[in-house]
Amino acid sequence: MNKNISTILKAVSKPGRYSGGEYGQIIKDKTKVKARFAFCFPDTYEIGMSNLGMRILYGVLNEESDVWCERVYNPWSDMQEQMKKYGIPLTACESGDPISDFDMIGFTLQYEMSYTNVLNMLDLAGLPLKSSERAEDSPIIIGGGPCAYNPEPVADFFDLFNIGEGEEMLPELCRLYIKMKDEGRYTKADYLHEAARTIEGIYVPSLYEVSYNEDGTIKEYKPKYDDIPKTVRKRIMTDMDSSYFPKKVVMPYIETVHDRVMLEVFRGCIRGCRFCQAGIIYRPVREKSPEVLNEQAKCLFEATGYDEISLTSLSISDYTELEALTDMLLKWTDDNMVSLSLPSLRVDSFTKELMDKIASVRSSSLTFAPEAGTQRLRDVINKNVTEADLLRAVNVAFEAGKNKVKLYFMEGLPTETHEDLEGISRLASSVVDAYYKCPTRNKARQPQVTISVSCFIPKPFTPFQWVAQDTIETLEEKQRYLGSKITDRKVVYTHHDARVSRIEAVLARGDRRLSAALEEACREGFKFDAWDECFDYDRWISVFEKTGIDPAFYANRELSVDEVLPWDIIDCGVTKEFLIREYKNAKNEKTTPSCREKCSGCGANKLGGERSCCPKAVK
């Protein structure tokens, strides 16, 4: 190193991102460690340090006495310039060692627009991007997280993928690695084959051949060996009460996105929103008991001193014992000046009782997600909420002194018309009117309704996975049309960049041929594409042109239900027959009840444990 690291840190923004040494980090004796694991979050420190999944897996791997898991985040652009200038490779937070010296490097793939950051980090580490070009003694590169359910666009860069939940899978991978090393029979090829053969949920792309039809669609996936699975089934934790949850977490030196205790209440979702990938891939619902949650919350509060506890799940108001849990928490949180945060509330289950329990939260606003402006379109997407539900919920908030409401919608949904878009404006105005009709409102404040509108993206393992995304021109025309219909100054209209959504759709539904485009993007210096200031749509289109990729083939083409999909190699536990049935129900504007009302036969409850979403298991 040609320059003292402390001097370099003075030249970059937020040096606390790189200093290490945080309270709660885990340091181990290298002489007693047999497998070193670099856990990479392909975005900035502030975002990665807020990720609950990373906190859990960091802790569970370090429970193994001979495994040392360390954290790695993508340095911001100014730090990357300093690293390249002075020949500093990408290093781990705890030891400061180059991650190229580790045995395993794991990436959590939370969103498609982070793919360029993955390659950027491999490049900063001095590692070849393609798995086929890395040396025998180079680290095993592992991918996991929600985007791993379609691993194909990045298949060329990873040695293996964890499909599903990693609390048991990752330690099993490390134990197999150590065992084969100790027995003197380790080679990278043998290890990958053995992992694919013996550990459920492991997908090794190099062990499968992909062939294509003349029209560019996939012909088949073919395993190269008879002893590896034809499809890779996801892993889940069946008993959430006994699954690992950290007793302490690493405390950041700088402000992060979520500076609070994050308490995972349950996994999965009983709802069936047809656009939502998370609602499918995390099935079935598996709850923790309120007693366990209360103890975990106390433990983390005592270890961190945070003054806020966020109850996290896909839909917190669907937790069957929410009242019992909040009552337990309030017995000690009030005395300790700790507030409760209940994100992901549904309008049809928001009550005054819940409002009273979260009244101590400092924000004067609440957020709901109607998703569509008309009942017809909400039926198409199976949102199963009404305008009356929304107005009842906002009235509860207004009566409690709130004056700000944020509403999430999507544009470009299947069968959407201009009337549906206009319905968004009408719904926002109805909320403003409801404020003035509320007799107990805070008369000293004006109402403010913010509507945030994202673009629909067809995602794998959803009933809408076959739907064509609207073209850029159509999405932008719809954004302008909706903007023209919003005339009330008390309604604030924001929308996502349609160009980002198009690239995301290409990556979400892509196959292995996209690896060439991503490799070219890395060569051209792409990084932080999820950040507005770094995203360049024209450069993306240029990369696609250079590598022979037609983005419309992936984003704007309606797929046939008989077509072999890039993600058909993965078994997420929900059957394709169910997804096709829901796709047809959407076309017929027919709703499907929640799992708690009636089992729809999606297939996921065969994976669950005693507290799964199966109706007979619900109290």
**Concatenated DSSP letters of 287-353:** EPPHHHHHHHHHHHHHHH--SEEEEESS-GGG-TTHHHHHHHHHHHHTTTT-EEE--S--GGG--HH
Does 453 map to a domain? no
pLDDT digits (tens, 9 = 90+) for 407-433: 999 999 999 999 999 999 999 999 999
Task: Out of 177, 209, 233, pick the residue that ends a domain.
Answer: 233
Does 228 map to a domain? yes
Does residue 252 sit in the same domain as residue 323? yes
Reading the block at residue 232, the tokens are 């890779």
CB 422 within 8 A of CB 373: yes
pLDDT digits (tens, 9 = 90+) for 238-279: 999 999 999 999 999 999 988 899 999 999 999 999 999 999
Does residue 172 sit in the same domain as residue 249? no
How confident is the model at residue 616, as a pLDDT?
40
Does residue 214 sit in the same domain as residue 254? no
Does residue 102 sit in the same domain as residue 125? yes
Does 486 map to a domain? no
Mean pLDDT for the chain overall: 93
User: CA-CA distance, 550 to 459, in Å (whole number)?
Assistant: 18
Tell me the residue range of the domain where 55 lies.
5-233
Q: Is 234 exposed, middle or buried (0-12, 13-18, 19+ CB in 10 A)?
A: buried
Task: Out of 233, 260, 285, pick the residue that ends a domain.
Answer: 233
Counting residues of the chain whose pLDDT is more than 70, the rounded percentage is: 96
Does residue 337 sit in the same domain as residue 223? no
| Residues contacting residue 49 through CB under 8 Å, at least 6 positions apart | 73, 250, 252, 256, 257
pLDDT digits (tens, 9 = 90+) for 521-580: 999 999 999 999 999 999 999 999 999 999 999 999 999 999 999 999 999 999 999 999
What's the average model confidence in pLDDT over 449-474? 98
How confident is the model at residue 613, as a pLDDT?
53
Q: What is the CATH number of the domain that holds 94?
A: 3.40.50.280
What's the average model confidence in pLDDT over 299-322? 92
Does 585 map to a domain? yes
How confident is the model at residue 2, as a pLDDT?
41
H helix runs in 224-281, sequence order: 278-281
pLDDT at 69 over 60: yes
Does residue 169 sit in the same domain as residue 214? yes
Does residue 172 sit in the same domain as residue 49? yes
Q: How many domains is the chain partitioned into structurally? A: 2
- Selected residue with higher pLDDT from 322 and 341: 322
pLDDT band for position 359 (cuts 50, 70, 90): low
pLDDT digits (tens, 9 = 90+) for 7-23: 899 999 999 999 999 99
User: CA-CA distance, 349 to 360, in Å (whole number)?
Assistant: 20
Does residue 291 sit in the same domain as residue 305? yes
pLDDT at 366 over 90: no
Does residue 74 sit in the same domain as residue 215? yes
pLDDT at 617 over 50: no
Task: Name the 3-class secondary structure at 18.
Answer: coil
Does residue 166 sit in the same domain as residue 303? no
Using alpha carbons, select from 43, 65, 32 the residue that is nearest to residue 54. 43
CB 272 within 8 A of CB 279: yes
Reading the block at residue 113, the tokens are 């627009």
The 8 Å CB, 24+ separation contacts for 581-587 are 582/272, 582/274, 582/382, 582/463, 583/274, 583/463, 583/464, 583/466, 585/382, 585/463, 586/274, 586/380, 586/381, 586/382, 586/414, 586/415, 586/463, 586/464, 587/414, 587/415
Cα radius of gyration (the chain): 24
Does 415 map to a domain? no
How confident is the model at residue 611, as a pLDDT?
45
Does 571 map to a domain? no
pLDDT digits (tens, 9 = 90+) for 137-150: 999 999 999 999 99
User: CA-CA distance, 558 to 188, in Å (whole number)?
Assistant: 40
User: CA-CA distance, 182 to 168, in Å (whole number)?
Assistant: 21
Task: Out of 197, 216, 233, pick the residue that ends a domain.
Answer: 233
pLDDT digits (tens, 9 = 90+) for 94-114: 999 999 999 999 999 999 999
Using alpha carbons, select from 21, 106, 113 the residue that is nearest to residue 61. 106
Does residue 76 sit in the same domain as residue 196? yes
pLDDT digits (tens, 9 = 90+) for 487-526: 999 999 999 999 999 999 999 999 999 999 999 999 999 9
How confident is the model at residue 1, as a pLDDT?
38
Q: What angle is formed at CA 584 by the lines to CA 583 and CA 587, rounded to 5 degrees? A: 95
Does residue 164 sit in the same domain as residue 257? no
CB 183 within 8 A of CB 175: no
How confident is the model at residue 615, as a pLDDT?
41
How confident is the model at residue 483, as a pLDDT?
96
Number of neighbouring beta carbons within 10 Å of residue 133: 11
Task: Name the 3-class secondary structure at 192.
Answer: helix
pLDDT band for position 619 (cuts 50, 70, 90): very low
CB 509 within 8 A of CB 468: no
| Torsional class of 107: left (φ above 0), alpha (ψ -120 to 50), beta (otherwise) | beta
Lowest mean pLDDT among 330-339, 375-384, 467-476, 532-541: 330-339
Does 300 map to a domain? yes
Does 76 map to a domain? yes
What's the average model confidence in pLDDT over 300-324? 92
Reading the block at residue 569, the tokens are 């190699």
User: CA-CA distance, 347 to 545, in Å (whole number)?
Assistant: 45
How confident is the model at residue 367, as a pLDDT?
87
DSSP-assigned beta bridge partners for residue 262: 310
